[in-house]
């Protein structure tokens, strides 16, 4: 117990009157009732979760709320990226309204990034904005999607194309729950952890190269890696909440990654988000090398580390085949990072030296993809 | 032409970096291309309209854009309150994304409040916020719904329960188009005009009592009434964009009105929004009298004026029967203006003396409704 309390870390996201805390550490599901009750005026909650997380954590979470006199209704949705759809958005809105969640009550996302993005969107539009609490249960959600207020669903036209900015009021990242996450999903989340190093923290990337096994094993190194990642994201979000500038750096690897996710129809059997990001980050370094920005050694170093932890690092590793370069290019052009027809890309001058380039020639990208696609 | 230019009025909504102009006057559809081109960086537009407005105005509007080199796609939806649904929200989002409307392009609502609320919501969530232009064609939309950034759709649980705040970048209120609006719809919009007088502008209400026939006839009195209404709304919105306080005054008559709309299943053959507001404003005065706040003469004066212009002023006038008081009360309690179970109501001390009361006993409302419902 004392150990738990000691290990717990708090990262604050500074956004004026919408500032909030991210609590990171063991035992936070059991402590959720207390943490929520001390911050919430209302006493009613709607919990949205998925069919994988519910059997393991929902009862404990509801019990923790009940002890503090908080009433909760819950909705269990199918797991997986396809749940980020209008169909499920409608059911979440319906549960929230049926439960008569009012302005001082809250909507809670208990799950990975899929549940967080979908539930946050529903909270952002139910009564034109309801209170929202993130209880991220995947590594990816703890280090990335639960922080920063981007919420949304996918469209047939592309990923995350429909949504709102809606900041949570609190994030509770219970690091114990990562022990039930599949190794594949843990690795996928780890891609986002590595991303913060690659953006602008070369020392953190070097630390990960040394300590990744301890991060995977759990304990203090894991908490340290999650807290460092949350702090990195919190800093970027505080500086540029609505992605008018530097927040775009967080998309390192994502322009390629999203196109690969679209090309595999968001089928998580073939590719999950973090895997797309892993391949995308390697491609971003290689493309930067092609543009004479980045030494090939840096690209190799990134590829080596990601492969070492077990992540895919090239398009060849995606089962089931990919469409031609032109089709991938089309998916890239439909991605959000497009202004007036010009391509905005996150490129890099080396490990920890990423930057936003907003004039990348489309023809170069197509030529590069043709070279890299499996023959 | 000189007359048109002279008659045109501009009201500015002051919201820091999201401030915008409302242009009010004749000929603005024909001038739309110029007004939009001078304010928009992009050259692509998605126009959303309805099946009543499209045959009369869509071609002219598109032609006006074309002259200025603006490309447009358009989507024509069914007319009526039922269009404010997830089903149509999905089609609007789909058109906007299919047209690849990017951050500097815009989504345009050409129509009444239904099209404006739905389209504004879609613009607010497509790519987490796209530029949005209102071209309101009903009186209600010109004086109320197109100004202030409230957007949304209805839910089976109640009206406007799902939506976002998303301010337009420009509002073009062409007063000529009101000539094709049905007298019934014009009157419904007039209820919102009268509302601004009843909230806090007793002189404006007295002016309307004298000049309403000229407002209905068109010309300068109409432009004057619309500009005064827009200014009144702009002032409230600038002071309280997100309805944390005084903006709630704009709901005078709406708590009862929305419950009546729900009770008639949003069937515009039976009741349209402005008619519900008309009856609701009379009920708000009568209920205030019952609470010893307002002299019965003020209630009678309001009733007399609204009846004179041809608006319904009592629940008896709604065809097809109403549910019992308890059911209406239930609809009221699901309305947005509820905090911690207590009822927030806009009450009044007399013509032009409305205020927000947040402790109205539910039992009083039920007893009052029982008395007023048709036997
Ligand atoms: N909003 C943002 O800023 C942002 C940032 C990055 C990613 N995302 C989004 O996040 C999503 C990916 O998130 P994700 O990787 O968490 O996906 P996910 O929510 O699908 O979770 C991955 C899988 O792990 C399961 N799971 C979650 N927690 C578990 C636990 N503790 N034990 C056992 N199983 C568990 C889930 O049921 C699911 O099957 C994508 O949709 C992506 O677009 C959003
Ligand atoms: N967002 C807000 O702040 C706000 C405020 C008030 C009302 N509203 C909403 O506005 C809606 C009501 O708006 P409305 O009364 O404009 O309804 P509406 O959009 O249904 O328009 C009324 C009718 O008039 C037709 N029409 C519109 N312009 C016309 C024209 N120039 N010529 C001929 N026909 C025309 C329409 O096709 C429709 O049949 C409601 O849904 C209400 O909730 C929103
Ligand atoms: Zn990501
Ligand atoms: Zn109204």
- From A53, A112, A134, the mutation candidate for ligand 1 (largest count of ligand atoms within 8 A of CB) is A112
Closest C-alpha residue for ligand 2 atom 7? B145
For chain A, the structural domain boundaries read 3-179, 183-372
Catalytic residue among B88, B201, B273, B305: B273
- Those of residues 139-178 in B touching chain A at CB distance below 8 A are 150, 152, 155-158, 161-165
| pLDDT digit string, tens, across residues A115-129 | 999 999 999 999 999
Residue A219 has pLDDT above 70, yes or no: yes
Closest C-alpha residue for ligand 2 atom 9? B113
Residue contact A128–B155, C-beta within 8 A? no
Closest CA to B64 of B93, B86, B85, B34: B34
| pLDDT digit string, tens, across residues A60-83 | 999 999 999 999 999 999 999 899
CB B123 within 8 A of CB B75: no
Distance of CA B307 to the CA centre of its chain: 20
Q: Which of B106, B128, B130, B335 to mutate to test the interface with A (most CBs of A within 10 A)?
A: B128
Give the lowest-confidence range in A109-113, B96-100, B332-336.
B332-336
Residue A274, annotated ligand binder?
no
| CB of B55 shorter than 6 A to ligand 2 | no
CB B16 within 8 A of CB B2: no
Distance of CA B212 to the CA centre of its chain: 19
Q: In angstroms, what separates the C-alpha of A126 from chain B's closest C-alpha? A: 5
**Chain A residue at shortest CA distance from B42:** A340
- The phi, psi pair for B269, rounded to 5°, reads -65, -30
Catalytic residue among A88, A187, A195, A258: A258
Closest CA to B357 of B248, B239, B200: B248
- Count Cβ atoms within 10 A of the Cβ of residue A374 and give its class: 0-12 exposed, 13-18 middle, 19 or more buried: exposed
Chain A positions touching B339 (Cβ under 8 A) are 102-104
CATH class of A3-179: alpha beta
Tell me the mean pLDDT in the region B307-321. 97
Task: Let me know if B131 is a catalytic residue.
Answer: no
B134 has which bridge partners?
B109, B171
Tell me the mean pLDDT in the region B155-173. 94
Other C-beta atoms closer than 10 Å to the C-beta of B152 total: 24
Q: Which of A88, A90, A125 to mutate to test the interface with B (most CBs of B within 10 A)?
A: A125
| CB of B113 shorter than 6 A to ligand 2 | yes
- The phi, psi pair for A34, rounded to 5°, reads -65, -45
Q: What is the pLDDT, as a whole number, of residue A6?
A: 57
Q: What is the pLDDT, as a whole number, of residue B3?
A: 46
Residue A113, annotated ligand binder?
yes
Averaged pLDDT score across all residues of chain A: 94
Tokens of A116: 């967080």
CB A336 within 8 A of CB A239: no
Residue A375 has pLDDT above 90, yes or no: no
Q: A217-249 as b/e, with b when 16 or more CB fall inside 10 Å? A: eeeebbbbbbbbbbbbbbbbbbeebebeeebbb
Dihedral, CA atoms, B141, B134, B31, B53, nearest 10 degrees?
A: -60
Other C-beta atoms closer than 10 Å to the C-beta of B349 total: 13
Residue contact B100–A158, C-beta within 8 A? no
Q: Parallel, antiparallel, or unpaired for β A131-136 and A106-111?
A: parallel
Residue B98, SS3?
helix
Q: Which of A100, A152, A156 sits opposite B334 (nearest CB)?
A: A100
**Chain B residue at shortest CA distance from A331:** B100
Give the lowest-confidence range in A69-83, A236-250, B66-80.
A236-250
| Residue A15 CA, ligand 4 centroid: distance in Å | 33
Chain B positions touching A165 (Cβ under 8 A) are 128-129
Pick the CATH number of B183-372 from 1.10.3720.10, 3.30.460.10, 3.10.129.10, 1.20.1090.10: 1.20.1090.10
Catalytic residue among B52, B154, B160, B251: B251
Q: In angstroms, what separates the C-alpha of A339 from chain B's closest C-alpha? A: 7
Residue A370, SS3?
helix
Sheet of strand B131-136, all strands in order from the earlier edge strand to the far edge: B9-13, B20-25, B170-174, B131-136, B106-111, B44-50, B71-77
Tell me the mean pLDDT in the region B120-129. 97
Residue contact B42–A340, C-beta within 8 A? yes
Residue B289, annotated ligand binder?
no
Closest CA to A223 of A69, A365, A48, A26: A26
Residue B340 has pLDDT above 80, yes or no: no
Averaged pLDDT score across all residues of chain B: 94
CB A187 within 8 A of CB A274: yes
Which ligand has the shortest distance to the CA of A191? 3
* DSSP-assigned letter for residue A142: I
Read off the pLDDT band of A1 (50, 70, 90). very low
| pLDDT digit string, tens, across residues B257-306 | 999 998 998 888 999 999 999 999 999 999 999 999 999 999 999 999 99
pTM metric for this prediction: 0.93
- The phi, psi pair for A228, rounded to 5°, reads -60, -40
Compute the distance between CA of residue B195 and CA of residue A159 in angstroms, rounded to an integer: 44
Read off the pLDDT band of B158 (50, 70, 90). confident
| CB of A187 shorter than 6 A to ligand 1 | no
Closest CA to A345 of A252, A273, A281: A252
Residue A356, SS3?
strand
| Residue A250 CA, ligand 3 centroid: distance in Å | 8
- The phi, psi pair for A50, rounded to 5°, reads -120, 175
Closest CA to A198 of A352, A344, A35, A323: A352
Q: What is the pLDDT, as a whole number, of residue A88?
A: 98
ipTM of the complex: 0.91
| CB of A154 shorter than 6 A to ligand 1 | no
Residue contact A336–B164, C-beta within 8 A? no
Tell me the mean pLDDT in the region B165-190. 97
Compute the distance between CA of residue B245 and CA of residue B253 in angstroms, rounded to an integer: 17
Tell me the mean pLDDT in the region A35-49. 95
**Does B97 contact chain A (CB < 8 Å)?**
yes
CB A103 within 8 A of CB A151: no
pLDDT above 70 coverage of chain B, percent: 96
Q: A85-117 as b/e, with b when 16 or more CB fall inside 10 Å? A: bbebbbebbbbbbebebbbebbbbbbbbbbbbb
Element of type H or E holding A68: none
Catalytic residue among A233, A285, A305, A372: A233
Read off the pLDDT band of B341 (50, 70, 90). low
Closest CA to A338 of B347, B141, B105: B105
Tokens of B150: 């409230």
Q: Which residue has the higher pLDDT, A339 or B302?
A: B302
Q: Parallel, antiparallel, or unpaired for β A131-136 and A170-174?
A: parallel
Compute the distance between CA of residue B13 and CA of residue A238 in angstroms, rounded to an integer: 28
Read off the pLDDT band of B338 (50, 70, 90). low
From residue B345, alpha-carbon distances to B159, B336, B367 in Å are: 16, 11, 16
Range list of H helices, B240-270: 254-263
Compute the distance between CA of residue B219 and CA of residue B227 in angstroms, rounded to an integer: 13
Chain A positions touching B90 (Cβ under 8 A) are 86
Compute the distance between CA of residue A14 and CA of residue A2 in angstroms, rounded to an integer: 29
**Residues A157, A163, A165, A167, CA torsion sign:** negative
Compute the distance between CA of residue A182 and CA of residue A179 in angstroms, rounded to an integer: 8
| CB of B261 shorter than 6 A to ligand 2 | no
Read off the pLDDT band of B217 (50, 70, 90). very high
From residue A3, alpha-carbon distances to A7, A8, A61, A136 in Å are: 6, 9, 21, 22
Task: Let me know if B88 is a catalytic residue.
Answer: no
C-alpha radius of gyration, chain A, whole number? 20
Tell me the mean pLDDT in the region A148-175. 95
Range list of H helices, chain A: 2-7, 32-37, 53, 59-67, 86-98, 113-125, 139-140, 183-200, 202-217, 220-239, 254-263, 273-290, 296-309, 325-334, 362-372
Catalytic residue among B258, B270, B337, B372: B258
Read off the pLDDT band of A5 (50, 70, 90). very low
Closest CA to A272 of A209, A145, A184, A335: A184
Q: What is the pLDDT, as a whole number, of residue A157?
A: 87
Residue A335 has pLDDT above 80, yes or no: no
Compute the distance between CA of residue B53 and CA of residue B138 in angstroms, rounded to an integer: 10
**Chain B residue at shortest CA distance from A129:** B164
Q: Which residue has the higher pLDDT, B322 or A338?
A: B322
Residue contact B90–A94, C-beta within 8 A? no
**Does A344 contact chain B (CB < 8 Å)?**
no
Read off the pLDDT band of B5 (50, 70, 90). very low
| pLDDT digit string, tens, across residues B142-154 | 999 999 999 999 9
Read off the pLDDT band of A244 (50, 70, 90). confident
| Residue A140 CA, ligand 1 centroid: distance in Å | 6
């Amino acid at each position: 117990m004392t150990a738990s309390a000691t290990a717990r870390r708090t990262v604050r996201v500074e956004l004026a009157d919408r500032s909030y805390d991210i609590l990171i550490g063991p035992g936070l599901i059991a402590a959720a009732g207390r943490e929520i009750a001390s911050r919430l005026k209302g006493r009613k909650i709607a919990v949205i979760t998925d069919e994988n997380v519910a059997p393991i954590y929902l009862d404990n979470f509801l019990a923790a709320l009940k002890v503090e006199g908080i009433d909760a209704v819950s909705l269990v949705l199918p797991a997986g990226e396809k749940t980020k759809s209008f169909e499920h958005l409608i059911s979440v809105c319906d549960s929230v309204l049926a439960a008569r969640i009012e302005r001082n009550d809250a909507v809670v996302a208990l799950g990975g990034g899929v549940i967080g993005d979908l539930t946050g969107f529903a909270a952002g539009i139910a009564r034109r904005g309801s209170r929202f609490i993130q209880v991220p249960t995947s590594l990816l959600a703890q280090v990335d999607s639960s922080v920063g207020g981007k919420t949304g669903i996918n469209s047939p036209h592309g990923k995350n194309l429909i949504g709102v900015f809606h900041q949570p009021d609190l994030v509770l990242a219970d690091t114990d729950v990562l022990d039930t996450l599949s190794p594949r999903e843990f690795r996928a989340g780890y891609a986002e952890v590595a991303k913060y190093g690659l953006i602008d923290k070369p020392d953190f990337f070097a630390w990960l190269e040394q300590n990744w096994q301890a991060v995977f094993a759990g304990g203090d190194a894991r908490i340290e890696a999650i807290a460092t990642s949350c702090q990195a994201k919190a800093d970027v979000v505080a500086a540029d909440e609505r992605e008018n500038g530097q927040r775009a750096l967080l998309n390192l690897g994502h322009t390629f990654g999203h196109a690969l996710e679209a090309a595999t129809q968001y089928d998580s059997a073939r590719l999950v988000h973090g895997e797309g990001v892993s391949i995308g980050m390697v491609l971003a370094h290689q493309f930067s090398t092609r543009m004479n920005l980045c030494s090939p050694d840096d690209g190799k170093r990134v590829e080596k580390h990601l492969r070492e932890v077990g992540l895919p690092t090239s398009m060849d590793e995606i089962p089931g085949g990919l469409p031609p370069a032109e089709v991938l290019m089309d998916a890239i052009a439909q991605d959000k990072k497009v202004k007036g027809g010009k391509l905005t890309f996150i490129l890099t001058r080396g490990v920890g030296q990423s930057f936003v380039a907003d004039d990348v020639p489309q023809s170069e990208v197509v030529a590069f993809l043709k070279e890299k696609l499996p023959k």
